[in-house]
Amino acid sequence: MMKWLALIKPAMIKPAPTKLDEAQQGETVQDDLSEDPKRIARRAMLRRFLIALLLASPSIGSWFSSNFVYARFDDAQQPVKTEMAGLRTDMADLERFVALFQANELSRGTFALLMAAVSADTKLRYLGDNLYRANSTSIGALRRAAAIVYPERWQATLKPYEEIVAQGYDSPETVQRLTDFENKVVADALSRITRDQARLNTLAETLEGYERRRQRVASALTYLAVALSIFLFAFQLRSSK
């Protein structure tokens, strides 16, 4: 009996841990301890990111709202800008016509004085005058000016003048009638330039009004974003205590 107890007792006694077992247990404990700080660090990083996103949200919202407001103001300004571009184009055409016509008229007057000085034939004088007027008509400046000044009836208005110039003339009455028509077109062109310039000034003031309102809205959105950022920052400091 004592022999059997002597054999069973050593089997019931747990063997002492070896160095290898202690090393494995140490590594397991170390791994468990190293996982917790990683998870803590990730949670802390996510928390910081969310806080930063919360603090930056007013600025982000201000940027989006500013772009939306700018787009709406641009849509409102587009018709005004289109009208201004059309007015500038018409004014440039009319100013070019007036400059070309006055230069041609000066050349025609110089030619008439030269013909009178040399006592040239009357038919030759009318022929030279007709050539200068035909040259002015062929340039197209007169037609362009008439189309701008008389948009609905420019062809009917210009037709008698062009027919007389094309057929030729040899009477002072015809020359005077042509001169009166040219002077009327020039006077109407200058009046149109004056009206277009006044309209441009009005439209420019309208654009300036749009720009002032847009700046006020942008400033208000910026101040609101700053105020919200300060409030969120103060709230975060209070909640972290």
For residue range 140-181, list pLDDT tens digits in order. Answer: 778 888 888 888 888 888 888 888 888 888 888 998 898 899
Q: Which pLDDT score is estimated for 152?
A: 86
Whether the full predicted model's pTM is greater than 0.85, yes or no, is no
* 217: phi then psi, degrees, rounded to nearest 5: -65, -45
pLDDT of 23 over the 70 cut: no
- Residue 102: closest CA among 187, 170, 171, 175: 187
Report DSSP letters for 34-50, one per residue.
HHHHHHHHHHHHHHHHH
Q: Which amino acid is at 78?
A: Q
Is 1 a member of any domain?
no
Is 91 a member of any domain?
yes
Task: Count the domains in the chain.
Answer: 1
Is 5 a member of any domain?
no
Is 33 a member of any domain?
no
For residue range 33-56, list pLDDT tens digits in order. Answer: 455 676 766 766 766 666 666 666
- For tokens 């009319």, the residue is 94
Is 18 a member of any domain?
no
Separation of alpha carbons 60 and 225, rounded Å: 9
- Decide if 215 contacts 70 (C-beta within 8 A): no
For residue range 191-214, list pLDDT tens digits in order. Answer: 999 999 999 999 999 988 888 887
Boundaries of domain holding 72: 43-240
Residue 236 tokens read as 């975060």
Tell me 150's DSSP state.
S
Separation of alpha carbons 100 and 109, rounded Å: 14
